[in-house]
Amino acid sequence: MYLLSDYDYDLPEERIAQVPCENRSRSRLMHLRRSDHGISHSRFEDLAGLLKPGDLLVVNNTRVVPARLFGKKETGGKVEVFVLDYARGMERLEQTGFFQCDCLVRASKSPRAGAVLELGSEEGYGMQARVEQVKGNLFEIRFLGGRDFPEFLKSTGQIPLPPYIKRDGSSKEHGNDGETYQTVYARTEGAVAAPTAGLHFTDELIQTLGAKGIELASLTLHVGYGTFVPVRCKDIREHEIHSELFSLSPETADKINRAKEEGRRVIAVGTTSVRTLEFAADEKGFVQPGSGSCDLYIYPGFRFKCVDAIITNFHLPRSTLLMLVSAFYDRERMIRAYETAVEEKYRFFSYGDAMLIE
């Protein structure tokens, strides 16, 4: 269960969702029951019928920032900059007055340290940036607009769709990704990828859940580009997980701890919520409020202390996210469930269908 090849499965390319479901909650939902290993199929809008009064859903309220910027180098060549760590860049902005963070840069010839980039569009380049360091395939960049940078990013940047979505995120042909690639409860800016299990919720569904006595609590974990970084180690235990900034409020911690005390289920919406909850939990499953960097790597053998059920999407082969859900259920049964999803023509990955594991 520690070999990378143990987390492989065959996925036809046509099963990778390229556009969002027209109605979020009409996406399909696979229901996995750990108690009897049963599998059933329904729609996400039927979720209230699968949950119990008193269940506590914990969602990630991070909001995706338009982290892709375009421009040119001093030599005139085109350049694309992907802001990888907006949350830490904002921390630095508050402390120093300038925004600086690690980025990915795409250009015909990579810029060197000291190079100045002009960012914006051909209609007008409104921001300069300087490459401070080159660290392998990462570029530490200082954006020279000072405190104007966040507003510039909002007005000029594009939503960074995952690399397996083969279309331009600026196109409106399939809806506005700036809206469809956000959860309806997204509040706190900082992610460069959406917590995609939450994309299936609508305001109406949340009201339906509340009417049944199902509680909602929110935390924040700013999803980083590391979520797409492939595992390259043959032994998965040697992989180094990325760290991401999180925040767990006293109000949310109180809701979680009260649910644990009363024997009610804590259901994590998405692997980001799972990692945050388990990172913050003590041996009895109670959590402490706070904020910091979460670098918890969950793979089979991990003992879950807080999370009782998971709502999640279907994940990439050989990914840390597939390892996490395999740790929660059972690796062999999870792979078989994925094979069933392929046979049943479920839609995979960020804009795809969902799974409830309880």
pTM to 2 decimals? 0.94
Interatomic CA distance for residues 193 and 182, integer angstroms: 9
Query: DSSP secondary-structure letter at 258?
Result: H
- Dig out the tokens for 325 from the structure: 């859900």
Task: Tell me the two tokens of residue 168.
Answer: 């331009």
pLDDT of residue 235: 98
pLDDT band of residue 173 (cuts 50, 70, 90) is: low
Whether the predicted pLDDT of 203 surpasses 90: yes
What is Dmax (Cα atoms) for the chain?
Answer: 65
Give the pLDDT score at 168.
67
Region 185-192: what's the mean pLDDT? Answer: 96
Res. 227: pLDDT tops 80: no
Q: Which two tokens stand for residue 331?
A: 């690796």
Q: Which amino acid is at 228?
A: F
Distance of alpha carbon 247 from its chain centroid, rounded? 15
Give the pair of three-digit tokens for residue 236.
Answer: 């998965």
More reliable by pLDDT, 203 or 224: 203
User: Residues 252-257: what's their mean pLDDT?
Assistant: 98
CB environment 39-67: b (16+ within 10 A), e (fewer): eeeeebbebbebbeeebbbbbbbbbbbbb
User: Helix, strand, or coil here: 274?
Assistant: helix
All structural domains of the chain with their residue ranges: 4-64+177-357, 68-156
Taken in order 226, 329, 29, 253, is the CA torsion positive or negative? negative
Instruction: Write down the pLDDT at residue 75.
Output: 87
Amino acid (one-letter) located at 196: T
Q: Who has greater pLDDT, 229 or 6?
A: 6
pLDDT of residue 145: 87
Residues in the chain: 358
Q: Which CATH class is domain 68-156?
A: mainly beta
Alpha helices for 281-352 (secondary structure H): 320-328, 331-343
Please give the Cα distance from 181 to 175 (Å, whole number). 10
pLDDT at 263 over 90: yes
- pLDDT tens-place string over residues 2-44: 999 999 999 999 999 999 999 999 999 999 999 999 999 999 9
Residue range 4-64+177-357 in CATH 3.10.310.30: no
pLDDT at 226: 77
pLDDT of residue 167: 79
Q: Which residue has the higher pLDDT, 226 or 333?
A: 333
